[in-house]
């Protein structure tokens, strides 16, 4: 009986030791900290606010500098229009030369669309001793001798155009400072002078 009891006690001690060892291993495994994934922070993309940037640049200028910049921007706009070789002339004054009466052009549908390859003309005109009013209204692709020359702040553009057997000579002087544009149109009936400005060409719908 004593031998059986001793064996039982030894078996119990052995089992207890194994259980304790397993618990120790489990505790050690549980004590290992889990890996933490930290996302890498990327620097913010560089974004330029060009609208407010231009405002900021102008706000740093003196009034004199701002006026000079506006004048430079306007001259650049005129140069860019002429460089497209497709722009419009809009008259505000008209006169038969020499000696005709200077007349105001109130209607806003008169224009001359100018380019080296085609021409659209819709301008008021007058002729004769009585200075009878009429309209010069034609489209043509018969353009020749187109030249555009700039001297200091003045553009000079000239060309010939032919429509229905009639030849017209056009000369246009444009100031890049004031924008004043003077168009002379010579025809067999006489010469008309128009004063106005140039702008973008807007084709009519066919």
- Residue 49, CA atoms < 13 Å, CB-side half-sphere: 5
| Residue 61: DSSP 8-state | S
Tell me, what's the pLDDT at 60?
84
pLDDT of 187 above 80: yes
The full set of domain ranges for the chain reads 57-200
pLDDT of 72 above 80: yes
**Dihedral, 31, 34, 36, 37 alpha carbons, nearest 10:** 170
- Residue 74, CA atoms < 13 Å, CB-side half-sphere: 16
Going by pLDDT thresholds of 50, 70 and 90, the confidence category of residue 179 is: very high
User: 């309209």: which residue's tokens?
Assistant: 135
Tell me, what's the pLDDT at 131?
73
Q: Write out the two tokens for 187.
A: 């025809």
Q: Which helix (H) or strand (E) holds 20?
A: helix 2-30
**What is the radius of gyration, based on Cα positions, of the chain?**
44
Mean pLDDT of 102-120: 94
Class of domain 57-200: mainly beta
User: 């740093």: which residue's tokens?
Assistant: 60
CB 95 within 8 A of CB 193: yes
Shortest CA distance to 198 belongs to which of 157, 142, 137, 146? Answer: 157
For 12-62, what is each residue's pLDDT tens digit? 666 555 545 555 444 444 455 555 565 555 656 566 666 665 566 667 888
Rounded to 5°, angle at Cα 71 from 181 and 81? 50
For 136-159, what is each residue's pLDDT tens digit? 999 999 999 999 999 999 999 999
Give the number of other Cβ atoms within 10 Å of residue 122's Cβ.
15
């Amino acid at each position: 009986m004593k031998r059986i009891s001793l064996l039982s006690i030894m078996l119990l001690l052995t089992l207890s030791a194994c259980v304790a060892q397993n618990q120790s291993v489990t505790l050690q495994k549980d004590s290992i900290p889990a890996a933490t994934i930290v996302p890498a922070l990327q620097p913010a993309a560089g974004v330029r606010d060009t609208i407010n940037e231009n405002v900021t640049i102008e706000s740093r200028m003196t009034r004199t500098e701002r006026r000079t910049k506006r004048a430079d921007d306007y001259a650049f706009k005129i140069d860019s229009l002429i460089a497209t070789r497709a722009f419009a002339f809009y008259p505000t004054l008209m006169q038969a030369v020499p000696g005709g009466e200077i007349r105001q052009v109130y209607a806003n549908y008169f224009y001359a669309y100018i380019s080296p390859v085609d021409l659209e003309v819709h301008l008021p005109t007058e002729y004769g001793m009585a200075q009878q009013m009429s309209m010069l209204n034609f489209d043509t692709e018969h353009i020749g001798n187109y030249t555009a020359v700039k001297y200091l702040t003045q553009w000079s553009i000239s060309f010939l155009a032919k429509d229905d057997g009639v030849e017209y000579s056009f000369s246009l002087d444009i100031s890049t400072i004031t924008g004043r544009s003077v168009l002379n149109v010579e025809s067999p009936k006489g010469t008309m002078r128009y004063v106005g400005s140039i702008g973008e060409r807007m084709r009519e719908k066919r």
